[in-house]
């Protein structure tokens, strides 16, 4: 969309930067200047955080979602910029404040729009401007490609066709600015691009230019496997007459084995199993226990759990349903 702004100059082209502190009324363009302060600052970790909010999002959840996804998957995925928030604007909201309006979409310039009410306007209905975008099959792409262009302005980028070295013969008003790359006829910020807003796709030089301003998006590291654990504890039941006990346990598809031995000198023992993926894990237990009457009792138990990676579990070995034939049913609980 042509980006005319009544509260701040709209004349930006990609790979040029506008630095103006003038706020003016009227529908006109200002030339680029060398006044500082246009760029959103980076935090101590090198990332530039820019809050975004909607002045009047009611009833437009689908459209605002389209815009958010588009910006995060384009500017937000290639540059070291984190657009966050995306909720309803409050009276003191900072950052980019977007008004949904049936007008010619427009935006303020870089950090000069920080906290400015209606600092950006986006059209979702196209009843009064670009009516061809009303068609159901066109409306999503119109909304998102226009937003892509306007967020370029919000990052401080100028209209590419306005560069002093532009080859564009129409819709061009040569101005100064900071050159970041060679002239880009395919820029999303170039009115002379035969593909309107470059069909909503950043050009190769769009990516180079924005990365020179805000840095390249840091690669998201592949997370290490998140381990979980199951700790099994066995306690000798001295009060019931147990004198020592030996237990063998297996867990998981590889039948990982742990042995427990407890007696009156060491009445407790424990072992821990680790796992890296959520899922169903099955166990088996065998026991042999000596009692004060000199008799040995055997036991067996089995079962399955559904375990979640990253969580830790703790269970204890219990005996139940003891019989006079020296057999116990073992459970974990």
Chain Cα centroid distance, residue 88: 19
Neighbours of 45 (CB within 10 A): 8
In this structure, are strands 81-88 and 106-107 parallel, antiparallel, or unpaired? unpaired
Please give the structure tokens belonging to residue 206.
């769009």
CATH code 1.10.287 for 228-332: no
Q: By the 8 A CB rule, do 265 and 291 touch?
A: no
Domain boundaries, the chain: 13-214, 228-332
Q: By the 8 A CB rule, do 328 and 297 touch?
A: yes
Backbone angles phi, psi at 299, to 5 degrees: -150, 160
Angle at the Cα of 248 from the Cα atoms of 263 and 256, rounded to 5 degrees: 135
Residue 256 CA to residue 180 CA, distance in Å, equals 59
Angle at the Cα of 304 from the Cα atoms of 303 and 308, rounded to 5 degrees: 150
pLDDT-above-70 percentage for the chain: 80
Q: Which of 133, 102, 101, 131 is nearest to 119 (CA)?
A: 101
Q: What is the pLDDT of residue 276?
A: 78
Question: In this model, does residue 317 exceed pLDDT 70?
Answer: yes
Q: Which of 26, 23, 11, 41 is nearest to 116 (CA)?
A: 23
CA-CA distances (angstroms) from residue 281 to 231, 256, 306?
14, 11, 6
Residue 28 CA to residue 6 CA, distance in Å, equals 8
- Superfamily of domain 13-214 in CATH is Collagenase (Catalytic Domain) (3.40.390.10)
Question: In this model, does residue 170 exceed pLDDT 90?
Answer: no
- Residue 25 pLDDT level (bands cut at 50, 70, 90): very low
Residue 319 CA to residue 301 CA, distance in Å, equals 9
- The answer to whether the predicted template modeling score (pTM) of the entire model surpasses 0.75 is no
Q: What is the pLDDT of residues 53-103, one digit of tens each?
A: 999 999 999 999 999 999 999 999 999 999 999 999 999 999 999 999 999
Residue 154 CA to residue 50 CA, distance in Å, equals 10
Residue 288 CA to residue 44 CA, distance in Å, equals 61
Neighbours of 99 (CB within 10 A): 16
Mean pLDDT of 32-47: 73
Q: Which of 99-103, 206-210, 245-249, 310-314 has the lowest mean pLDDT?
A: 310-314
Q: What is the pLDDT of residue 88?
A: 93
Identify which has the larger pLDDT, 7 or 155. 155
Helix-then-strand count for the chain, H and E? 4, 15
How long a stretch of residues is the chain?
333
Q: What is the pLDDT of residue 70?
A: 95
- Residue 36 pLDDT level (bands cut at 50, 70, 90): low
């Amino acid at each position: 969309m042509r980006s005319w702004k009544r509260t701040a100059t709209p004349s930006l082209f990609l790979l040029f930067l506008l630095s103006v502190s003038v706020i003016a009324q009227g529908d006109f363009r200002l030339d680029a200047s060398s006044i500082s302060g246009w760029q959103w600052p980076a935090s101590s970790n090198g990332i530039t955080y820019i809050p975004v909010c909607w002045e009047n999002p009611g009833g437009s959840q689908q459209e605002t979602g389209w815009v958010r996804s588009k910006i995060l998957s384009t500017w937000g995925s290639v540059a070291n910029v984190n657009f966050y928030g995306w909720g309803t604007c409050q009276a003191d909201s900072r950052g980019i404040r977007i008004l949904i309006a049936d007008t010619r979409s427009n935006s303020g310039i870089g950090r000069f729009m920080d906290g400015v009410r209606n600092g950006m306007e986006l059209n979702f209905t196209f009843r009064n401007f670009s009516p061809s975008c009303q068609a159901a099959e066109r409306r999503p792409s119109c909304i998102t490609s226009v937003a892509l262009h306007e967020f370029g302005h919000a990052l401080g980028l100028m209209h590419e066709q306005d560069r002093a070295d532009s080859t564009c013969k129409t819709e061009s008003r040569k101005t100064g600015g900071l050159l970041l790359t060679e002239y880009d006829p395919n820029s999303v910020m170039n009115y002379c691009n035969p593909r309107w807003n470059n069909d909503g796709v950043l050009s190769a030089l769009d990516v180079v230019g924005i990365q020179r301003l805000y840095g390249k998006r840091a690669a998201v590291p592949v997370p290490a496997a998140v381990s979980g654990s199951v700790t099994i504890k066995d306690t000798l039941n001295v009060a019931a007459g147990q004198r020592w006990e030996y237990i063998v346990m297996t867990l998981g598809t590889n039948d990982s084995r742990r042995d427990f031995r407890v007696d009156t000198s060491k009445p407790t023992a424990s072992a821990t199993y680790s796992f890296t993926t959520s899922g169903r894990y099955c166990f088996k237990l065998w026991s042999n226990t000596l009692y004060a009457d000199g008799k040995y009792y055997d036991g067996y138990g089995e079962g399955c759990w559904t375990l979640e990676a990253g969580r830790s579990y703790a269970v204890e070995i219990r005996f139940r349903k003891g019989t006079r034939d020296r057999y116990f049913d073992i459970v974990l609980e």
